[in-house]
Amino acid sequence: MADTGAAIELVDLTKHYPGNPRPSVDGVTMRIRAGETVVFVGPSGCGKSTTLKMINRLIEPSSGSVRINGEDVTGLDPVKLRREIGYAIQSSGLFPHMTVAQNIALVPRLAGWSGRRVRARVTEMLELVGLDPGEFRDRYPRRLSGGQQQRVGVARALAADPPVLLMDEPFGAVDPVTRGHLQDELLRLQRELRKTIVFVTHDIDEAIKLGDRIAVLGERSRIAQFDTPEAILAHPADDFVSAFVGTGAALRRLDLTRLRDLDGTGCPTAHQGEPIQQVRGRLRASAADEMLLLDRRGRPLRWLRREDLAHTEGPLTEAGTPVGGTVTRDATLREALEAVLTDSAGRVAITGPNGVYAGAVHLEGLLDTVRGLLAADRRRAREHQEELEATRPGPTLPEAEEVTAGRVEGDTAGRPEGQAAGRPEGEAAGRPQGQAAGRPEGDAAGRPQGEAAGRPQGGAAGRPAGEATASPAGSGATGIPEADIAEEPEGDAVGSAG
Amino acid sequence: MGFWDYVGSYRERLLFDAYQHASAVLQCVVVATVAGVAIGVLTYRREWAAGLATATTSAVLTVPSLAMIGLLIPVVGLGVAPTVIALTLYGLLPVVRNAIVGLRGVDPALVDAAKGIGMSRARRLLRVELPLAWPPILTGVRVATQMLMGIAAIAAYASGPGLGNEIFRGIASLGSANALNQVLAGTLGIVVLALLFDAGYVLLGRLTIPRGIRG
């Protein structure tokens, strides 16, 4: 079933409801690649669900077209079309009068599969979504937990192996813990199946976690930004997107990269039983201050600093300090940062399968990595945004009436010149000076640290790094002009941290 | 003659009347159910149509049964015809009303899901909407049956079948020896039939309402 997805193309898709002067969905054009997960995210009532439902024609578009694998589906029989497209909705949509097996079997039966094939498929699908077929097959939906119902809902949507899967806020009605599990499950499924998934949610965190790309939709489903989660976090295209993304974008970015994705995480190592001279020589030859002693099976045992090696005469296994916490290669950068911050010496060993040494990270290295990632994200996002704008007709900025003068403005600096110039004068003037001014004009390379951490807030953007980290109530300072902060006695900022 | 002696000696006539009574009610309920559900299916999605259907069937019910049968006699004559027509018309209201309520009560998300996975309109109706609306429809049918049990007794006025004959015979000969026994036998017979039918509906509910939505 590898790579069964189909490409979807929305061309100027518009929905006009009679009696409503403005269209609910206004000219959405986007290209969704085969096998990718695209998340539509936007505030309630922005038309994201309507857009989704136009793909399987639960809602007929007023104009524009939908192409799946190049074929215009607006002319097909909608009932047949929908059998080719999986559909999963909020609170599962399972039919309460049918058993789990009957629910899953619906679409294969509609497609005319033989009874034997359908039964085998039901078993397969239940296993796929992690439910024991023997236990769950004959249960009625009301005897399942919310999470289990949702799993069955996904199993039903996938039962006839459709190339495209539409999911309309499928995890909206379950508790946060279950939702997390379901999201992980979906990611795992998607790694196996590579369907083309279009997923609607109003939860930006869900979008960031699940999406290969995210389309942030504004009013009337206009695409405010369509890009990777990394790019959207690093470089929101406009105020609307940055408001929607909310605070802590840089920290959230840490969830998107895992240690195994990084290269250059390492430190010198020594093996238990190696002659101490050889070990000393190796550490001296490297730039590092510390090395890891591994046991006979290659697992990290002790940290050895230069001093430890210089003074010890006994066996290496008694020198230095024992390895405290370790993180696995599958840990996210956030988990790694957590571990590094918890470690007294600010470094942790990375382990692979069976606890075998796979590298090490320390605080500075990690920060450099994150900064590098953010800079790269931002650069890519800007390129994508320029491409999108080049292909899109009409104004791309929020209309003047939507822009309020007093709003804290996070990201004018990164915006192409022409756009910033096109804004109403008054608005630019009303913006707190410190933030716009304090932001470096160029790329992220030379950016002060505070900006990365405080970006969506905007408050920390112009401030020197030390202050931003010293004041946990940093958002409280949002909008204070630069001068005010500068006049604040240094001691105050530190005091407020303690 | 005591009541039980009366029942004993006229057992065959009573059983025949009871059978005819039950048979007439059952057949009319079946026709009313089929017609009522059909009316419900045709109207439930349009506010005005559903309102019209409910109002019309309610209006029918307000016509006194004796008057209804009396009015039907000049049109269709005496006997079975006016009985069946009157009973069916009276049986419609509970079925139509509950069918509309039941079909409207189906979670729109489920209808959406059914549509979304590629079920045609007919299939949605047969596989999803009607099964989910079935418990209230069955309640409507049950109410209709209870109602028709009583109304069917009036059919004897138009020389129709059933236990009503027993009652009318008794009323016609009030003061005679068996008058009270006749009225009593007819009435109790109807009560017993109604209870038997109700038990039948409990069983029918068990058999036809899927376990997943049984209360």
Say how far apart CA A441 and CA A363 lie, in whole Å.
28
**Domain assignment present for A355:** yes
Quick check: B147 and B102 in contact, CB under 8 A? Answer: no
Q: How many CB atoms lie within 10 A of CB A275?
A: 10
CB contacts < 8 A, A to B, total 68
pTM of structure: 0.69
* A403 and A325 in a common domain: no
pLDDT at A383 exceeding the cut of 60: yes
**Domain assignment present for A351:** yes
- Residue A96: closest C-alpha in chain B: B212
* A121-125, A170-174, A368-372, range with greatest mean pLDDT: A121-125
Q: Please tell me which of the candidates A87, A94, A142 has its beta carbon nearest to residue B116.
A: A87
* A299 and A348 in a common domain: yes
Sorting pLDDT into bands at 50, 70 and 90, what band is A375?
confident
**Domain assignment present for A387:** no
pLDDT at B56 exceeding the cut of 80: yes
CATH of the domain at A141: 3.40.50.300
Sorting pLDDT into bands at 50, 70 and 90, what band is A268?
confident
Residue A290 backbone dihedrals phi, psi, to 5 degrees = -140, 150
Say how far apart CA B141 and CA B138 lie, in whole Å.
5
- Interface touch A95/B114, C-beta < 8 Å: yes
* A213 and A81 in a common domain: yes
CATH of the domain at A316: 3.10.580.10
Sorting pLDDT into bands at 50, 70 and 90, what band is A117?
very high
Q: Which residue has the higher pLDDT, A496 or A172?
A: A172
- Interface touch A87/B128, C-beta < 8 Å: no
Q: Please tell me which of the candidates A58, A94, A97 has its beta carbon nearest to residue B112.
A: A58
* A228 and A338 in a common domain: no
Say how far apart CA A385 and CA B128 lie, in whole Å.
46
* A250 and A266 in a common domain: no
* A247 and A351 in a common domain: no
**Domain assignment present for A389:** no
Sorting pLDDT into bands at 50, 70 and 90, what band is A368?
confident
SS3 A300: strand
Rounded to the nearest integer, the mean pLDDT of chain B is 91
* A203-212, A388-397, A405-414, range with greatest mean pLDDT: A203-212
- CATH homologous superfamily of B11-213: MetI-like (1.10.3720.10)
For residue A106, the enclosing domain spans 8-256
pLDDT in tens, A145-178: 888 998 999 999 989 889 999 999 988 888 888 8
- Interface touch A79/B116, C-beta < 8 Å: no
- Interface touch B117/A110, C-beta < 8 Å: yes
**Domain assignment present for A382:** no
pLDDT in tens, A430-475: 334 333 333 344 343 433 443 333 334 333 333 343 333 333 333 4
Q: Considering its fold, how many domains does chain A have in total?
A: 3
- Residue A105: closest C-alpha in chain B: B117
B48/chain A closest Cα distance in angstroms: 20
**Domain assignment present for A372:** no
**Domain assignment present for A242:** yes
Paired residues of A326 in beta bridges: A349
- Residue B110: closest C-alpha in chain A: A93
pLDDT in tens, B110-135: 998 999 988 999 999 999 999 999 99
Rounded to the nearest integer, the mean pLDDT of chain A is 76
Sheet of strand A63-68, all strands in order from the earlier edge strand to the far edge: A25-32, A8-15, A63-68, A71-72
Which chain B residues touch A89 with a CB distance below 8 Å?
109, 112-113, 116
- Interface touch B212/A96, C-beta < 8 Å: yes
- Residue A98: closest C-alpha in chain B: B212
**Domain assignment present for A315:** yes
What is the structure's pLDDT at A465?
38
pLDDT in tens, A331-363: 888 888 888 888 888 888 888 888 888 888 888
Sorting pLDDT into bands at 50, 70 and 90, what band is A364?
confident
**DSSP for residue B211:** G
Q: Which residue has the higher pLDDT, A255 or B103?
A: B103
pLDDT at B87 exceeding the cut of 60: yes
B31/chain A closest Cα distance in angstroms: 26
Which chain A residues touch B205 with a CB distance below 8 Å?
none
What is the structure's pLDDT at A242?
85
Domain ranges of chain B: 11-213
pLDDT in tens, A30-81: 999 999 999 999 888 888 899 999 998 999 999 888 999 888 888 888 888 8
A53, A90, A106, best to mutate vs chain B, most B CBs in 10 Å: A106
Mean pLDDT of A248-277: 80
Residues 90-109 of B with CB under 8 A from A: 109
- Interface touch B117/A157, C-beta < 8 Å: yes
Listed residues A241, A256, A271: the one ending a domain: A256
* A404 and A316 in a common domain: no
What is the structure's pLDDT at A392?
61
Say how far apart CA A403 and CA A230 lie, in whole Å.
25
* A431 and A444 in a common domain: yes
* A212 and A178 in a common domain: yes
B117, B137, B208, best to mutate vs chain A, most A CBs in 10 Å: B117
pLDDT at A425 exceeding the cut of 70: no
Mean pLDDT of A261-267: 75
pLDDT at B97 exceeding the cut of 70: yes
* A57 and A43 in a common domain: yes
Residues comprising chain A, all counted = 498
B129/chain A closest Cα distance in angstroms: 10
* A180 and A81 in a common domain: yes
Which chain A residues touch B213 with a CB distance below 8 Å?
96-97, 140, 142
What is the structure's pLDDT at A264?
66
Mean pLDDT of A290-314: 83
| pLDDT over 90, % of chain B | 59
* A224 and A362 in a common domain: no
Sorting pLDDT into bands at 50, 70 and 90, what band is A483?
very low
